[in-house]
Amino acid sequence: MIRSDYNRPEIKKRATVDPKKRQFAPALFQNQEYAHRLNFYGLPPTANVTLEEFEEWAITRLKVLSELETCTFRNKNAEETLAYMTPILEKHLPLHSNSSRSSQLQAERRRDHYSHFILRLAFSSTEDLRRRFSRLETMLFRLRYRQDDDNRRERSEFINSLDFSWEIVDDKERAELGEQLKAATGSVFKKGDEEGYFKVDFEKVPELVEQRRCMLRRGMAYVPMREQMSLVVAEYTARLDRALDMTARELPRIDEDDRLSPILAHLSHSFTAPSASYDESNLPSSLHPTAANIDQLATHFPLCMSHLHTTLRTNAHLKHYGRLQYTLFLKGLGLSLDECVLFWRRSFRLMTDDKFTKEYKYNIRHAYGDVGGDANRRGRGYSPYSCQKLITEPLPGAGQSHGCPYRTFNVENLVSLLNAGGISDKEVVRGVREDVGKMRYHVACNRVFEHVHRKEIKDVKDKGTWGAAELDTLLHPNTYFKRSFMLKHLGDEDVQAEMKREKEGPMKREIESNGNEW
């Protein structure tokens, strides 16, 4: 689709300095002109900025990116994200269209351009950071692209400047394909949509292919003009990923710069994910999970896990992803590997020992980090799945029962499952229906939690023993369990001690917990 390498200046514009002299020639710093609001960030900045600007610009962009990330954690859809982000973008990283005739136009764009490249430097060092950065920058780009919906002319000017070459489907072919083409792409054209179709190799539009939103014919995808976004965004990501890899390779060269490297290091450190993870070191010590008492503990399980548990008890079997999800949850409970193996062995009561050892035991050990590659063992296996993970993973197939039931069940089945679990309060069920309808699955789960524990929560609130932090929204099945367990055992001494420790801060806890790692 791309005619030539976008990084390469045209031949006429290349510097004609003698290569021998060039490395000693004075650098040509110049301000770039920004003709378009959107930017593919093909050329790096070439002008000077102060160190203060360097740091400040980077931090504001970082702020925007982390807000964007929280939107995904909260499972907001595109419209909600747009509504939430617009004021934030306006405040921290404004970008106006040409038609706004703002006097700040060039300054805004420059700031956007520079901050992007500074963060590139900060986040190119590890694969993890690169992937995250590229994902968030893509989201930001997509958001801005959508903001331009009312300003199609400028947007198409920008796209034309990118030198894509897509083949337009001519009228004859369109007539030939006729209804099929319309059926494939879904809804009819809205007023104001750019009409027509273009065709590209199907590899270029994986999202459209996956959702069957374009027609395929002998390897070509027929895409309506309005789906341009998907293509442009895919190209943006591809270029950014390539550029990040290049940056990573160049990175050692600025290691010696003691002005920049501390700033960059600081930036990448502060870019840590909001903690949806779960720290298993501080479970109350009265909790002794063994293979034998899981059934009793199951009363404290969130719906996703109690559903797996009941399925396991009824079928004496669970499919792979269900086993994995449940094993990791049990691991997070503090169930030791030996006990966990014992638990599964007993649960698969219809299976021979031989089959169990051959086909199942290894996976359990792998999840605990007892076997597998070096990295797996060192990391002590996988960490228990968070709600975020369960809510975003692909839906289970036939015969599978993993995932978040608030999401995977249809509403009627969900309600009957809740009823079976003793939750039939009309108000709660109505709330759950509403949450699930809006795809806010974890809100529904929290609602159920608060209903089940309403007495205890009121109790601790009244006494003031638990602060707001301890009653924050649940984002992890294991946190659900832990909080439920502690609320139901408020009288126990060690739970009280645990609460006290929690308030004293994490440092001390870390030291204490090092002794009793499993």
d(CA 432, CA 442): 10
Which residue in 153, 212, 454, 503 binds other proteins (CB under 8 A)?
212
Q: Does 399 contact other proteins by CB under 8 A? A: yes
Beta strands 167-168 and 215-217 are unpaired
Given the complex with other proteins, which of 121 and 184 has the nearer CB atom?
A: 184
d(CA 316, CA 318): 7
Q: Does 492 contact other proteins by CB under 8 A? A: no
Q: In what order do the strands lie in the sheet with 215-217?
A: 167-168, 197-201, 220-224, 215-217
Which residue in 150, 195, 412, 517 binds other proteins (CB under 8 A)?
412
- Residue 166: other Cβ atoms inside 10 A: 15
Q: Which stretch binds other proteins (CB under 8 A): 263-271, 397-405, 452-460, 498-506?
A: 397-405
Q: Does 180 contact other proteins by CB under 8 A? A: yes
214 appears as a binding residue in the annotation: no
Measured at the CA of 129, the angle between CA 126 and CA 133, to 5 degrees, comes to: 140
d(CA 92, CA 85): 10
Q: Which stretch binds other proteins (CB under 8 A): 91-99, 201-209, 363-371, 498-506?
A: 201-209
Q: Does 207 contact other proteins by CB under 8 A? A: yes
Which residue in 19, 87, 192, 219 binds other proteins (CB under 8 A)?
219
Query: What is the footprint of other proteins within residues 307-326 (CB under 8 A)?
Result: none
Closest separation in Å from C-beta 203 to other proteins: 5
d(CA 298, CA 105): 59
Query: What is the footprint of other proteins within residues 354-383 (CB under 8 A)?
Result: 358
d(CA 346, CA 360): 12
C-beta of residue 481 within 8 angstroms of C-beta of residue 299: no
- Which position has the token pair 């190119």? 124
What ranges in 397-465 are assigned the alpha helix state H?
405-408, 411-420, 426-437, 441-452, 454-463
Given the complex with other proteins, which of 347 and 408 has the nearer CB atom?
A: 408
404 appears as a binding residue in the annotation: yes
Beta strands 215-217 and 220-224 are antiparallel
Which residue in 133, 197, 202, 485 binds other proteins (CB under 8 A)?
202
Q: Which stretch binds other proteins (CB under 8 A): 93-101, 207-215, 271-279, 440-448?
A: 207-215
Which residue in 19, 192, 397, 491 binds other proteins (CB under 8 A)?
397
Given the complex with other proteins, which of 183 and 497 has the nearer CB atom?
A: 183
SS3 annotation, 51-117: HHHHHHHHHHHHHHHHHHHHHHHCCCCHHHHHHHHHHHHHHHCCCCCHHHCCCCHHHHHHHHHHHHH
Q: Which stretch binds other proteins (CB under 8 A): 192-200, 399-407, 471-479, 497-505?
A: 399-407
Tokens of 94: 């404004």
Given the complex with other proteins, which of 89 and 215 has the nearer CB atom?
A: 215
Which residue in 149, 153, 186, 454 binds other proteins (CB under 8 A)?
186
71 appears as a binding residue in the annotation: no
Tokens of 416: 């009957």
Given the complex with other proteins, which of 334 and 403 has the nearer CB atom?
A: 403
Count residues binding other proteins (CB under 8 A): 38
Please give the annotated binding residues, written as ranges.
Answer: 304, 387, 404, 445
- Give residues in contact with other proteins (CB under 8 A): 179-180, 182-184, 186, 202-203, 206-207, 209-212, 215-220, 358, 395-403, 405, 408-410, 412-414, 417
Please give the annotated binding residues for [4Fe-4S] cluster, written as ranges.
Answer: 304, 387, 404, 445
